[in-house]
Structure 1
């Protein structure tokens, strides 16, 4: 069975949210409850790490200047470059997106868990992901809180964070695409009952499909 056929045969949820919304925190909580979590951002990091399979193509397209001393993609430099040049962004996506899809499908085929939870930061923007999952789960919080979190953890300036947010879909559009929403504006204790409720829902929907 092909990876895509395998993943389509299982109940799947696409988890998304803006930068700093808390996607990793929430997906870790689902993993603790038995979901098979497949994080496309972690896959992208692996592809562009030293020795990653995307590195030769990135080197060929963008040159040595966009690699770090240890041979990884220089994420900060590439981010700044592609923000300013849409054509360069398209070239980078042409390299990474097919590889991410292949690795995502491979991970889904090998995953063990009650159901599949795909963490996809740009799920709404991609267009195709909404057709590949049964439910869309959005992790939501006020935009001001997103900025505070990202500045605190990354060292980026507020202006840089707002620029990243501006390149993503709007909060309103993201919420409009959601089947389910987790509000992450009041700490981990407030997340627990929301995750418990949705995990129970996804288990029941997964069982109904089997």
Structure 2
């Protein structure tokens, strides 16, 4: 059981996955918000039933699973519909992440939450003991996106602009890993934070 939970977040192409993989190699369980978002609307779940009740059976595929393409089309450009979907899914994702982290073996656990700042920050996740932000300059994000996804600078800029700003993410950070250089540089930063988190987790929670 892990009572000490770290939230990890960062902008697109900041290197969140590289960081969480390094924590996993040190025996730390990482609960992923993207995977949780799929789990809570899997066939047969109350979450999927609630989505269908709100949006109708047209958002289902022939096998009864959520048609994500149809769902995206349904909420695209429709702010009330998007907010309605988020009001169903986000609380379920938060609860799923908390369950996974609290059930994890190890001195502490990590909840990887890409849209933590956009989803209410610390107020929405009061059970996080600390928040670690993976930070990279916007120009680094843009370059990585263009290389990773084979897109042009304009689309990369729109993807970055669609998220919380760098300053908004940093405002909720207890810890920061700057990831704007070689990946090897992450190892030392992760090792230092792992030592710190193990020490903090060994202390009684106040």
Preserved CA contact (<8 Å) 1:11 1:209: no
Q: Which has the higher helix share?
A: 1
Give 2:139's match in structure 1, choosing from 139, 144, 150.
144
Give 1:90's match in structure 2, choosing from 74, 83, 105.
83
Give 1:185's match in structure 2, choosing from 159, 172, 180.
180
Deviations 1:62-116 (A, max 9, x none): 3455445554434455446535221011111121022212322321232111202
Instruction: State whether structure 2 residue 35 is matched by structure 1 residue 36.
Output: no
> Aligned equivalents of 2:158 and 2:63: distance in 1?
28
Change (3 A) 1:84 1:13: same
2:168 paired residue number: 173
> Aligned equivalents of 1:154 and 1:81: distance in 2?
25
2:98 paired residue number: 105
TM-fit CA distance, 1:38: 1.4
> Aligned equivalents of 1:160 and 1:60: distance in 2?
34
> Aligned equivalents of 2:150 and 2:71: distance in 1?
17
**Worse overlay, 105-114 or 62-71:** 62-71
1:57 paired residue number: 50
Instruction: State whether structure 2 residue 6 is matched by structure 1 residue 13.
Output: yes
- Please, what TM-score do these two structures have when normalized by structure 2? 0.82
5+ residue gaps, structure 2, are none
1:3 paired residue number: none
2:191 paired residue number: 196
> Aligned equivalents of 2:151 and 2:57: distance in 1?
24
Preserved CA contact (<8 Å) 1:38 1:104: yes
SS in 1 for 2:117: helix
5+ residue gaps, structure 1, are 1-5
TM-fit CA distance, 1:120: 1.2
